[in-house]
A and B are shown apart, each in its own frame.
Chain A
Amino acid sequence: MLRVKEIHKSFDDFRAVNGANLHVDKGTLVAVIGPNGAGKTTLFNLITGQLKPDKGEIVFNGKDISKFSPYRICRKGIARSFQIANIFPRLTVFRNIQVSVLSQQGKSTRLFRPARNLAVEETERILESVGLSDKAGNTAGSLAHGDQRTLEIAIALGNKPELLILDEPTAGMSPEETTATMELIKRLAESRGLTILFCEHDMKVVFSVAQSIMVMHQGHSIIQAKPDEVRKNQAVQDAYLGGAE
């Protein structure tokens, strides 16, 4: 479904992503792991168009999307969340999700219909599925950190994506919140038939949830395989123990 081939990106002299490969099959949960600064976030930004690659191909459903702008990539069916809570702080929780649903339904530019009657059902369904229904009327900026992260995922769901990309969905969460969030992600993947690509620090979480794991180190991908094989791989152990290079 998604295939990233030999992708490169540098900032001035710093090679942030230096030959990364990745493939995501339909209906799977794929994780990207790697030490800090390995280029995970840059890789995600390249896939979703926030950054343009210097070299390499990104193919989604048979189409090269590496030169598309973010909004077009999103319309092709890839939605994402960000590492820091990236929401609409002055709008209500309901509106946060509604904006995304409206965009997905191609109604964003409608001028003369009240928004309150549009996309309501879908928005409420998403609110319910992530458990934010009781906070629908709150201003998003006033939510607690954990709720903001959940809202972040909910906004991405509004786009009805085929592929959902989550950049460290549990960053800054307590262990309980982390478990709850991972449960939520698993549940969403099952109930909505989502394909999910995510990166994560917590190894326990990764190895328990992911069906395929890609390991990044200093900008390039070392391996992508099933969790068991990754665990046994020598190169991975070297990278994590700091033995490589």
Chain B
Amino acid sequence: MFKGIFSIKKSLPYVGIFVTLLILPPIIPRFYIYILAVIFVTALLAMSLNMVVGHGGLFQFHHGAFYGVGAYTVALILTKTSLPLWVGFIAGPFAAALAGLLIGIFCVRLTRLYFGMLQISLGSLLWALVFRWYSLTGGDDGIHGIPMPPFISSQNSAYYFILIVLVICLIVMYLILKSPFGVTLRAIRDNPERCEAIGINVRRHQLIGIVIATFFAGISGVLFVLLEGSVFPDLLFWVYSLEIFIMCLLGGWFTFAGPIIGAAIMVSLRTFVGIYTDYWTLVLGILLILLIFFLPEGVWGYIVEKFGSRAGEAVEEENK
């Protein structure tokens, strides 16, 4: 069914990276394993956002809200009910996708900046609810010490679990972006008006795109809970959403793998600059301005453009 899409030669480097990541845990210090796991979770989140931003052309400004919904769903199921673990893990992404669907229905009626603004306000409504509903969500304290069986939450097994889920998600996302749906989504990004005129139901496509993207955001939220064992309202705060947005741009939003690079840069910056100074956002701000002025296509976008054959449609050329 998928023949011809994964060429063995081209996917070798990626398999190499995967194998390297698999054998890392016993070799490098625990702290770095943790940071890598954080990068994986964040990368999945950024990748999910980029499906609708870089490939769909939507101003999805409040993606963090869906990440938060996924995380809170699993956290609440594990702390407030006696349902088994896997129910929470499955419910998280679906709850996020449902939130994406509900908010998306209203948002896709609008375009561009209005879309983004409506999403920010509806997303902030979710944030305000989580922030204030002390009896359910613990308010601004969040929920801590979420029980997880050790076979999955010990650091190394969490690392492996997250890595494997990430790889599966990336493969699925890649297939989706290569599919007729993905191609059509990019056509809508380029020219929604023309798409209407060739018989494409633009709003429905955008809505499906949002549901898929928020589903993956929900998976990322679940992985976050697995890794950290806690949730807090900041996950749904608009500032974090904009940070995810920046990861996409930083890495290169017209490429497939760009957001992973963006997430890795952001997480490392926050961690390692944070060790030396309290002013890591200052560094981030300056970096962002440099990016805007000198690398508007993003880091990975720049690399693809320099060394790839045809940068215009980078996702068509890359292989996984």
Interface residues of A (CB under 8 A from B): 48-50, 69-72, 74-75, 79-80, 82, 86-92, 95-96, 98-100, 102-104, 107-119, 137, 139, 141-142, 155-156, 158-159
Contact = CB atoms under 8 A, between A and B. Distances in A.
Interface string B165-208: 00000000001101111111011011101111111111011001
A102 B183 contact: yes
Contact of B1 (A99, A113, A159): A113
B5 interface: yes
Contacts of B204: 109
Given A74-B197, A110-B180, A118-B180, A95 B4 contact: no
Contacts of B310: 92, 137, 139
Given A50-B193, A108-B181, 6 more contacts: A88-B186, A90-B190, A103-B200, A114-B175, A115-B180, A139-B310
In this complex, which of A49, A69, A111 has the most chain B Cβ atoms within 10 angstroms of its Cβ?
A: A111
B31 interface: no
Contact of A102 (B5, B178, B184, B197): B184
Interface string B82-122: 00000000000000000000000000000000000000000
Identify the 9 closest CB pairs spanning chains A and B, nearest first: A139-B312, A74-B199, A88-B190, A70-B196, A99-B187, A100-B198, A108-B184, A114-B5, A110-B180
Contact of A95 (B179, B200, B313): B313
A95 B182 CA distance: 11
B199 A71 contact: yes
Contact of B312 (A48, A92, A155, A159): A92
The B interface, classified by DSSP as helix, strand, loop or mixed, is helix
Nearest to B208: A109
Contacts of B189: 90
16 contacts: A48-B197, A50-B197, A86-B191, A86-B197, A87-B191, A88-B187, A89-B191, A91-B183, A91-B190, A95-B313, A99-B183, A109-B181, A111-B179, A113-B1, A158-B198, A159-B199
B245 interface: no
Contacts of B199: 71-72, 74-75, 79, 100, 103-104, 159
Contacts of A155: 194, 198
B198 A99 contact: yes
B254 interface: yes
In this complex, which of B187, B201, B202, B208 has the most chain A Cβ atoms within 10 angstroms of its Cβ?
A: B187
Contacts of A104: 198-199
* Contact size range, B: 35 or more
Contacts of A109: 180-181, 184, 204-205, 208
A142 B176 CA distance: 26
Contacts of B294: none
Contact of A82 (B176, B179, B194): B194
Contacts of A110: 179-181
A61 B191 CA distance: 29
A106 B254 CA distance: 26
A70 B184 contact: no
Contact of B200 (A89, A98, A108): A108
A72 B204 CA distance: 13
Nearest to B254: A90
A219 B102 CA distance: 43
A115 B183 contact: yes
B92 to A, nearest CB: 21
B274 to A, nearest CB: 37
Nearest to A139: B312
Contacts of B205: 108-109
B176 A116 contact: no
A89 B190 contact: yes
A116 B182 CA distance: 11
Contacts of B316: 92, 95
A215 B312 CA distance: 43
Nearest to A86: B194
Contacts of B194: 82, 86-88, 155
B197 A114 contact: no
Nearest to B2: A114
A114 B254 CA distance: 19
A116 B181 contact: no
B312 A102 contact: no
Nearest to B184: A108
Given A86-B191, A88-B187, A159 B198 contact: yes
Given A87-B191, A103-B184, A71 B201 contact: yes
Nearest to A77: B199
Nearest to A102: B180
Interface in B277-320: 310, 312-313, 316
